[in-house]
C-alpha cells in the first residue's frame, strides 16, 4: 500500500499544509475545496489567500471542486473538514471507494450523536477501508513557515502508519506512530476545551503559576475522562496529549485559545466566534464532553466551569477558584492506588 497519489479533503489551513508537504515529497496531490475562488488561487497563483495568506505553495499541488474526481485514484484521502461536516462529505463518496484506499482524519472533534470520534465516523461509513488519525501540536501557520514540528499518525493498520510517516516526514516535520487510535484522537479533541480555558486565564491577567496549574490539571482531567472511556492514559504523555495540550493552551495562534481570550476580555461567545473567522472545534466539543461526563459521573471541574462561562455567562475567574476547593487531591491521577486517591 504505497502512497503515490493523495487527496486532501478541505481547504483550511492545516489541510493546505498537509497537501503542500505531500506535494513537496513528490506525491501527486490534489486538494478538494468547496470554494472555486480558492481552488483557482491554488492552481493559478500557488496560494491559499484565505487561510494561508503569504505562503507560497508547491506548484505541483493542484486543487479541484469536483469531489468524485479527486477521490477516484487516490491511495490515501486526508479528511480535513470541520467535524460537523465529516459525515456529510464522506458519505457522498464512501460507496465509490476501493478497499485499498486509506482514510486519515486530521479533524479534532466529536460527532454529537452517539459521541463518535472522527475515525469512528470514517469506519462507520467505510468499514472496508484502512483508517488512521493525524494529531499533534500542529499550528498550521508555523508549519507553513517550515518551523520544526512533529505529529502522530495513529492506526491499527501498520502499513498505513508506515506510509503516512514516509509521505509526510521532511526536514521540518517529523511523524511518529501509535496504535492507540482512540487515545490519540481523544487527546486531540479534548485539548481544545482546555485551550479555551487557558485563553480565559491569559485575558484575565492571571500569573504563570495559575496558567501552569490550569494546564496540568487539564491533563489530569483529560486522562481521567479518557480512561473512563477505555483509552490508555500513557498516550496522554506523548505528542498527541501533553504536547498538543501545551501548545494549544499557550499560543495565540490557537483558534480555541483565541476564543477563550476574547471571552475573557468580555466578548460574548457569538462575538468571539465571529471575530475568529474560523471554526473553533472546542466550542462544540465542550457541549458533548460535558454531557458525557455528566452521564458517566466523571469529575471534570474545568469542563463544567467552562460550560458555565461560555453558555451561561459565568465569571471566568470562578474556574480557577473552583479548582482550589475541588474534591480530588491527588497529583498524578493514576500513580496512587484507588483507595488512597
User: Do 27 and 156 have their domain in common?
Assistant: yes
**pLDDT at 340 > cutoff 80:** no
**pLDDT for 35:** 96
pTM: 0.89
User: Do 174 and 201 have their domain in common?
Assistant: no
List, in order, residues 6 or more apart from 313 with CB less than 8 Å away.
Answer: none
**pLDDT for 326:** 63
**pLDDT for 332:** 61
Task: Provide DSSP, 110-135.
Answer: EETGGGEEHHHHHHHH-TTS-EEEEE
In a domain, 184, yes or no: no
**How do residues 115-174 score in pLDDT, each as one tens digit?**
999 999 999 999 999 999 999 999 999 999 999 999 999 999 999 999 999 999 999 999
Q: Which three cell numbers stand for residue 60?
A: 505541483
Active-site residue flag, 191: yes
Beta-bridge partner residues of 153: 134, 177
User: Do 74 and 200 have their domain in common?
Assistant: no
Q: In the listed set 179, 198, 214, which residue is the last one of a domain according to the structure?
A: 179
* Enclosing domain of residue 288: 190-340
**pLDDT for 280:** 76
* Given the residues 98, 141, 156, 191, the one annotated as active site: 191
CATH number of the domain where residue 195 is located:
1.10.1040.10
Cβ distance 244 to 136 under 8 Å? yes
User: Do 174 and 202 have their domain in common?
Assistant: no
Task: Tell me how many domains the chain contains.
Answer: 2
User: Do 292 and 255 have their domain in common?
Assistant: yes
CA distance linking residue 26 with residue 42, whole number of Å: 17
User: Do 108 and 26 have their domain in common?
Assistant: yes
**pLDDT at 274 > cutoff 90:** no
User: Do 109 and 235 have their domain in common?
Assistant: no
**pLDDT for 334:** 54
**pLDDT for 339:** 45
User: Do 226 and 320 have their domain in common?
Assistant: yes
User: Do 195 and 171 have their domain in common?
Assistant: no
User: Do 195 and 323 have their domain in common?
Assistant: yes
CATH number of the domain where residue 104 is located:
3.40.50.720
User: Do 214 and 241 have their domain in common?
Assistant: yes
User: Do 107 and 242 have their domain in common?
Assistant: no
**pLDDT at 336 > cutoff 50:** no
In a domain, 282, yes or no: yes
**pLDDT for 113:** 85
Q: Indicate the pLDDT class of residue 7, thresholds 50, 70 and 90.
A: very high
CA distance linking residue 60 with residue 26, whole number of Å: 9
Amino acid at each position: 500500500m504505497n502512497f503515490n497519489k493523495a487527496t486532501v479533503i478541505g481547504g483550511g489551513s492545516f489541510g493546505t499544509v498537509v497537501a503542500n508537504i505531500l506535494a513537496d515529497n513528490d506525491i501527486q496531490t490534489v486538494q478538494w475545496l468547496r470554494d472555486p475562488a480558492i481552488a483557482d488561487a491554488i492552481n493559478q497563483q500557488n496560494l491559499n489567500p484565505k487561510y494561508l495568506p503569504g505562503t507560497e505553495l508547491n506548484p505541483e499541488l493542484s486543487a479541484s471542486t469536483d469531489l468524485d474526481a479527486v477521490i477516484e485514484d487516490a491511495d490515501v484521502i486526508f479528511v480535513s473538514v470541520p467535524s460537523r461536516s465529516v459525515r456529510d462529505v464522506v458519505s457522498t463518496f464512501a460507496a465509490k471507494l476501493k478497499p485499498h484506499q486509506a482514510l486519515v482524519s486530521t479533524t479534532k472533534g466529536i460527532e454529537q450523536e452517539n459521541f463518535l470520534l472522527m475515525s469512528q465516523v470514517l469506519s462507520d461509513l467505510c468499514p472496508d477501508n484502512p483508517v488512521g488519525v493525524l494529531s499533534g501540536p500542529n499550528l498550521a501557520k508555523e508549519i507553513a513557515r517550515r518551523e520544526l514540528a512533529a505529529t502522530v499518525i495513529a492506526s491499527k493498520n501498520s502499513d498505513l502508519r508506515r506510509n503516512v510517516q514516509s509521505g509526510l516526514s521532511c526536514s521540518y516535520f517529523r511523524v511518529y506512530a501509535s496504535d492507540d487510535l482512540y487515545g490519540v484522537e481523544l487527546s486531540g479533541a479534548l485539548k481544545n476545551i482546555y485551550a479555551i480555558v487557558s485563553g480565559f486565564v491569559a485575558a484575565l491577567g492571571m500569573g504563570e503559576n495559575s496558567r501552569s496549574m490550569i494546564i496540568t490539571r487539564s491533563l489530569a482531567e483529560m486522562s481521567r475522562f479518557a480512561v473512563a472511556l477505555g483509552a490508555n492514559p500513557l498516550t496522554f504523555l506523548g505528542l498527541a496529549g501533553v504536547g498538543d495540550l501545551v501548545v494549544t493552551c499557550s499560543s495565540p495562534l490557537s483558534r480555541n485559545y483565541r476564543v477563550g481570550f476574547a471571552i475573557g476580555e468580555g466578548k460574548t461567545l457569538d462575538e468571539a466566534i465571529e471575530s475568529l473567522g474560523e471554526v473553533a472545534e472546542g466550542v462544540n466539543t465542550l457541549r458533548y464532553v460535558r454531557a458525557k461526563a455528566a452521564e458517566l459521573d466523571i469529575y471534570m471541574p474545568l469542563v463544567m466551569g467552562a460550560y458555565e462561562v461560555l453558555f451561561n455567562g459565568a465569571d471566568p475567574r470562578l474556574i480557577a477558584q473552583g479548582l482550589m476547593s475541588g474534591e480530588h487531591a491527588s497529583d498524578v491521577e493514576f500513580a496512587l492506588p484507588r483507595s488512597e486517591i
